Amino acid sequence: MASVKKLGILGSTGSIGVSTLDIVAAFPEQFEVVTLTAGNNLARLEEQIRRFRPKMVAVISADGAQQLKERLGADAPQILSGVEGLVACACHEDIDMVVSAIVGAAGLVPTMSAIETGKDIALANKETLVTAGSLVTEAVARHGVRLFPVDSEHSAIFQSLEGHRMDDVRRLILTASGGPFRNRMLADMASVTPADALAHPNWSMGRKISIDSATMMNKGLEVIEARWLFDVPAERIAVHIHPQSIVHSLVEYVDGAVIAQLGIPDMKTPIAYALSHPTRLPLDLPPLDLCSMRNLTFDEPDLERFPCLALAYEALAMGGTAPAVLNAANEIAVDAFLNEEIAFLDIARVIRAALQGLEVKPLEHIDQVLRADLWGRKEARRFIDARGEGATVC
Contact status, residue 9 vs residue 20, Cβ threshold 8 Å: yes
3-class DSSP string for the chain? CCCCEEEEEECCCCHHHHHHHHHHHHCCCCEEEEEEECCCCHHHHHHHHHHHCCCEEEECCHHHHHHHHHHHHHHCCEEEEHHHHHHHHHHCCCCCEEEECCCCHHHHHHHHHHHHCCCEEEECCHHHHHHHHHHHHHHHHHHCCCEEECCHHHHHHHHHHCCCCHHHEEEEEEEECCCCCCCCCHHHHCCCCHHHHHCCCCCCCCHHHHHHHHHCHHHHHHHHHHHHHHCCCHHHEEEEECCCCCEEEEEEECCCCEEEEECCCCCHHHHHHHHHCCCCCCCCCCCCCHHHCCCCCCECCCCCCCHHHHHHHHHHHHCCCHHHHHHHHHHHHHHHHHCCCCCCCHHHHHHHHHHHCCCCCCCCCHHHHHHHHHHHHHHHHHHHHHHHCCCCCC
205 binds, among ligand NAD, Mg ion, none (CB under 5 to 8 A by kind): ligand NAD
Q: Confirm or reject binding of residue 60 to ligand NAD (CB under 6 A).
A: yes
When the beta carbons of 203 and 253 are compared against ligand NAD, the nearer one is 203
Task: Select from 201-209, 231-239, 325-333, 366-374 the region that touches ligand NAD (CB under 6 A).
Answer: 201-209
Q: Confirm or reject binding of residue 39 to ligand NAD (CB under 6 A).
A: yes
Q: Binder to ligand NAD among 33, 98, 124, 350 (CB under 6 A)?
A: 124
How many residues touch ligand NAD under the rule CB under 6 A: the total is: 28
Least Cβ distance, residue 198 to Mg ion (angstroms): 16
Site map 144..173 versus ligand NAD, x via CB under 6 A: -------x----------------------
Binders of ligand NAD among residues 78 to 117 (CB under 6 A) are 86, 101-103, 106
When the beta carbons of 119 and 126 are compared against ligand NAD, the nearer one is 126
Task: Select from 38-46, 129-137, 141-149, 257-265 the region that touches ligand NAD (CB under 6 A).
Answer: 38-46
Q: Confirm or reject binding of residue 126 to ligand NAD (CB under 6 A).
A: yes
Q: Confirm or reject binding of residue 121 to ligand NAD (CB under 6 A).
A: no
152 is in an annotated binding site: yes
The binding site for Mg ion (CB under 5 A) comprises 151-153
When the beta carbons of 32 and 151 are compared against ligand NAD, the nearer one is 151
Residues in contact with 364: Cβ distance below 8 Å, sequence separation at least 6, in sequence order: none
85 is in an annotated binding site: no
153 is in an annotated binding site: yes
Q: Confirm or reject binding of residue 326 to ligand NAD (CB under 6 A).
A: no
206 is in an annotated binding site: yes
Q: Binder to ligand NAD among 6, 8, 14, 91 (CB under 6 A)?
A: 14
Backbone angles phi, psi at 364, to 5 degrees: -120, -25
Binders of ligand NAD among residues 267 to 306 (CB under 6 A) are 267
Task: Select from 26-34, 129-137, 167-175, 199-207 the region that touches ligand NAD (CB under 6 A).
Answer: 199-207
When the beta carbons of 212 and 393 are compared against ligand NAD, the nearer one is 212
Instruction: Specify binding-site residues for 1-deoxy-D-xylulose 5-phosphate.
Output: 126, 152-153, 177, 200, 213, 218-219, 222
